[in-house]
């Protein structure tokens, strides 16, 4: 499939899913009526629902999915490892740790932006640690090992905070936040996360040519003029900004950065540079579709996006592994 055709199809799917996302919710209204309330302010409650609840939720779904999909593709290309995903570097774990500390200490109740800022701070701290431990090494193995260590430490500290929590209500709130959700978000969350996400996207989208060269090996890439030090800097901090901001506003959502590049890779000729933008759009479509599904399955319950994503992603990833193994036999 031509790259432009694939991008067009993904963009169209995002448009269709965005319409469904805007139309589906507790307020029972037809699609035409809902979209009309979005553009025409008649002072009614549906206008408030559309503009203040559904629209920011839909936008955040696109932003979060694009960040996760793009980061996953960039990491798999840079590390030359199909099992790589944003959580491998510990970015999601440290972002969650920052949010957990804010919830546990009660600082998150002081202002709406405290919780997202704490998560973003955790992600940036992770990037600094990774760069300190592996920045000068030419081998990607050092980055992988550093990421595993930081991720394990963040998970242990998060469990420790939960274990020592004297307040069961705070522990319950932490657990629900870590499941991941786009509910209860507003344009304040959009404007808080968007600048950091854009910085992350800009860094990751610039890595396409370098990642293509890296498929030939690190020595060959260096011979072609690729600065491996600058490339690692872009991948680490681009992932930290994009995924950290996504985790800050939506909680921990897994499998997007792992599954989407696997699905789309055969459609782009397994070329890493072409996979970047396609995976971003595919991630946005997947998060939007899952968020719609969350509201359709049990409309009366606050079903978490991260839970459904794991239920969908795990079997899908196992299926991909099974079919890939059969093709290689």
Question: Measured between alpha carbons, how far is 225 from 227 in angstroms, rounded to an integer?
Answer: 6
Q: How confident is the model at residue 255 (pLDDT cuts 50, 70, 90)?
A: confident
Does pLDDT of 22 surpass 80? Answer: yes
Question: How many CB atoms lie under 10 A from the CB of residue 145?
Answer: 14
Indicate the pTM of the whole model.
0.90
Contacts of 230 (CB under 8 A, 6+ apart): none
Residue 250 in contact with residue 219, Cβ under 8 Å? no
Mean pLDDT within 31-48: 71
Question: Measured between alpha carbons, how far is 32 from 253 in angstroms, rounded to an integer?
Answer: 31
Task: List domains and CATH numbers for the chain.
Answer: 3-8+45-319 (1.10.3470.10)
Per-residue pLDDT tens digits for 271-299: 889 999 999 999 999 999 999 998 888 77
Per-residue pLDDT tens digits for 111-134: 878 888 888 899 989 888 888 887
Structure confidence at residue 327 (pLDDT): 56
């Amino acid at each position: 499939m031509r790259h432009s055709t694939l991008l067009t199809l993904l963009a169209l799917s995002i448009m269709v899913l965005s319409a469904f996302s805007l139309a589906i919710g507790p307020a029972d209204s037809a699609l035409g009526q809902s979209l009309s309330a979005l553009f025409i302010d008649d002072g009614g409650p549906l206008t408030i629902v559309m503009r203040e609840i559904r629209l920011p939720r839909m936008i955040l779904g696109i932003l979060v999915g694009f960040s996760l999909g793009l980061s996953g593709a960039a990491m798999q290309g840079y590390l030359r490892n199909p099992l790589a995903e944003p959580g491998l570097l510990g970015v999601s774990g440290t972002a969650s740790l920052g949010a957990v500390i804010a919830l546990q200490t009660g600082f998150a109740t002081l202002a709406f932006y405290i919780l997202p800022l704490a998560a973003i701070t955790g992600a940036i701290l992770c990037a600094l640690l990774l760069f300190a431990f592996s920045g000068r090494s030419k081998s990607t193995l050092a980055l992988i090992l550093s990421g595993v260590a930081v991720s394990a430490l963040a998970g242990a500290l998060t469990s420790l905070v939960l274990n020592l929590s004297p307040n069961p209500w705070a522990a319950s709130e932490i657990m629900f936040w870590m499941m991941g959700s786009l509910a209860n978000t507003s344009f304040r969350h959009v404007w808080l996360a968007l600048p950091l996400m854009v910085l992350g996207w800009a860094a990751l989208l610039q890595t396409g040519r370098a990642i293509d060269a890296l498929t030939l090996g690190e020595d060959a890439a260096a011979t072609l003029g690729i600065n491996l030090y600058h490339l690692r800097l872009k991948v680490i901090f681009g992932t930290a900004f994009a995924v950290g901001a996504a985790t800050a506003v939506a909680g921990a959502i897994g499998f997007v950065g792992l599954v989407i590049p696997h699905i789309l890779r055969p459609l782009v000729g397994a070329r890493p540079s072409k996979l970047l933008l396609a995976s971003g759009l595919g991630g946005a479509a997947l998060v939007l579709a899952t968020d719609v599904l969350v509201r359709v399955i049990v409309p009366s319950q606050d079903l978490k996006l991260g839970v459904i994503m794991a239920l969908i992603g795990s079997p899908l990833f196992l299926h991909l592994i099974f079919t890939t193994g059969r093709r290689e036999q």
